[in-house]
């Protein structure tokens, strides 16, 4: 069984000023190889925050990247929203009537990671979920950022990782080289698996209010993209992995947008899968198409999206992110309503599967994850009014033939090819 560990822990970020630290630890985990952070500006579960701030970041212990959205609740001016990304922090909170606040990687510690407040004031209350990634079969981890160029629809490639990734996670807010902040809110988070088919998923969202629609897409054909002002600006398809990195092909001009990524290489052939998800309007939520028993899951559900690969224009959007292992489930949510004169955007967190709709109402409520032979199950006590579409990442420890490893049939074929070549070589000699 492969030694690849993805485990979750949540802490309130210490906010006593520059240099204050927060530790994320899981007893017995060991030293991580990488970590992912998901924050929401909320410090009390199931209680709406005063504004909406939500972000996603990662580190490999040397390099880091973070991106985030902000909705200025109660504003009737153009300071309705914000977005920021940086390559000098793992958590970043955008500006807009509030100072930028950031937390940077400090060090790997016993069984976890320490982050340090590196910028901003101390008036920041946030519960932050950390996904620790480790194990002897996580052979390589690399965090970078990719400038998607100004070459129209030409493929953009990077060799910066220096290895062929097994799993790629990508996030960004559709702006130029970091660090940068912009008074508008676009964001995409996606992933791709090196399974021979380049399976990839993402969500893309754009927060607006007043008479302009908040929009979103859930895609199962792209890893990233950008929407704005009721239209798809571009989407990016991961076309290939190679020995040193990967390539992305845009659907349209990307005007120099920069997105961050976490590339991971696994040995030992763990099970890894990306799946389309749908939280149902009745009954419990069962994800039965994963094909193995996971021990970790990451789920993004987007309220306000009626169908995959199509732009939604539905009165508001919420991003519901849940990370879970066999011991814990943590959810971080942001919503943004549109077609309102005064901005309506807040956060919520929960220690179970939980989601809000695009107006801030409780949308669905579940328990903790139960893993089984083909996926995961959540008992639901509240179902959404409409199915919540999204995507999920599943990790399992068992041997797999889907992550950069030949199948048993291919291995047998390779053996026959080797024997045949050896015999032919002997004849030629």
* 75 — pLDDT class (breaks 50, 70, 90): low
Average pLDDT of 191-213?
Answer: 80
* 76 — pLDDT class (breaks 50, 70, 90): low
Round to whole Å and give the CA distance between 227 and 185. 10
Round to whole Å and give the CA distance between 418 and 415. 5
Which residue has better confidence, 285 or 304?
285
DSSP SS3 for 421:
helix
Which residue has better confidence, 252 or 275?
275
pTM of the model: 0.89
Average pLDDT of 122-140?
Answer: 90
Average pLDDT of 134-161?
Answer: 92
From 122-136, 155-169, 306-320, the region with the lowest mean pLDDT: 306-320
Round to whole Å and give the CA distance between 89 and 65. 6
pLDDT tens, position by position, 216-274: 889 999 999 888 777 888 899 999 999 999 999 999 887 788 899 999 999 999 999 99
CB 289 within 8 A of CB 392: no
From 101-110, 111-120, 312-321, the region with the lowest mean pLDDT: 312-321
Q: How many residues does the chain have?
A: 429
Tell me the average pLDDT of the chain: 84
Average pLDDT of 189-199?
Answer: 95
* 412 — pLDDT class (breaks 50, 70, 90): very low
From 27-31, 203-207, 337-341, the region with the lowest mean pLDDT: 337-341
**For position 315, what pLDDT does the model report?**
65
Instruction: Give, for 139, the enclosing helix (H) or strand (E).
Output: strand 138-147
**For position 233, what pLDDT does the model report?**
86
CA 105 vs CA 16, 31, 180, 358: distances in Å: 17, 14, 19, 33
**For position 72, what pLDDT does the model report?**
64
Nearest residue to 253 (alpha-carbon basis) of 237, 236, 239, 234: 234
Nearest residue to 38 (alpha-carbon basis) of 218, 294, 299: 299
Region label for 240, one of left (φ > 0), alpha (ψ between -120 and 50) or beta (otherwise): beta
CB 221 within 8 A of CB 238: no
């Amino acid at each position: 069984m492969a030694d690849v560990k993805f485990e979750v822990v949540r802490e309130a970020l210490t906010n006593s000023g520059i240099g204050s630290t927060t530790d994320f630890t899981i007893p017995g985990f060991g030293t991580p190889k990488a970590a992912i952070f998901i924050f929401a500006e909320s410090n009390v579960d199931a209680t709406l925050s005063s504004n909406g701030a939500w972000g996603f970041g990662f580190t490999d212990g040397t390099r880091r990247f973070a991106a985030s959205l902000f909705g200025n609740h109660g504003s009737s001016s153009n300071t309705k929203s914000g977005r920021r990304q940086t390559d000098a922090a793992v958590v970043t909170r955008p500006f807009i009537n509030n100072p930028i606040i950031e937390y940077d990687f400090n060090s790997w510690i016993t069984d976890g990671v320490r982050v340090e407040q590196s910028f901003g004031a101390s008036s920041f209350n946030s519960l932050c979920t950390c996904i620790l990634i480790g194990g002897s079969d996580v052979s390589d981890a690399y965090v970078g950022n990719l400038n998607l160029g100004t070459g129209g629809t030409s493929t953009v490639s990077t060799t910066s990782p220096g290895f062929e990734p097994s799993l790629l996670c990508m996030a960004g807010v559709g702006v130029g080289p970091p660090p940068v902040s912009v008074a508008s809110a676009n964001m995409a988070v996606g992933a791709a698996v090196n399974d021979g088919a380049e399976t990839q998923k993402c969500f893309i969202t754009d927060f607006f209010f007043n008479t302009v629609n908040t929009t979103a897409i859930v895609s199962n054909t792209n890893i990233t993209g950008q929407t704005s002002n009721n239209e798809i600006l571009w989407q990016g398809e991961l076309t290939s992995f190679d020995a040193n990195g990967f390539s992305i092909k845009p659907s349209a001009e990307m005007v120099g947008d920069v997105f961050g990524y976490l590339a991971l290489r696994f040995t030992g052939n763990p099970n890894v899968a990306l799946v389309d998800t749908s939280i149902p309007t009745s009954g419990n939520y069962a994800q039965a198409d994963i094909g193995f028993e996971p021990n970790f899951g990451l789920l993004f559900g987007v309220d306000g999206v009626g169908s995959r690969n199509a732009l939604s224009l539905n009165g508001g959007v919420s991003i519901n992110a849940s990370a879970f292992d066999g011991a814990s489930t943590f959810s971080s949510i942001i919503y943004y309503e549109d077609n309102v004169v005064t901005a309506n955007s807040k956060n919520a967190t929960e220690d179970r599967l939980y989601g809000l709709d695009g107006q801030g109402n409780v949308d669905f409520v579940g328990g903790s994850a139960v893993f089984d032979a083909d996926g995961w199950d959540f008992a639901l006590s509240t179902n959404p009014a409409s199915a919540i579409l999204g995507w999920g990442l599943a990790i399992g420890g068992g041997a797999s033939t889907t992550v950069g490893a030949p199948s048993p049939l291919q291995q047998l074929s390779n053996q026959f090819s080797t024997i045949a070549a050896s015999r032919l070589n002997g004849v030629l000699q």
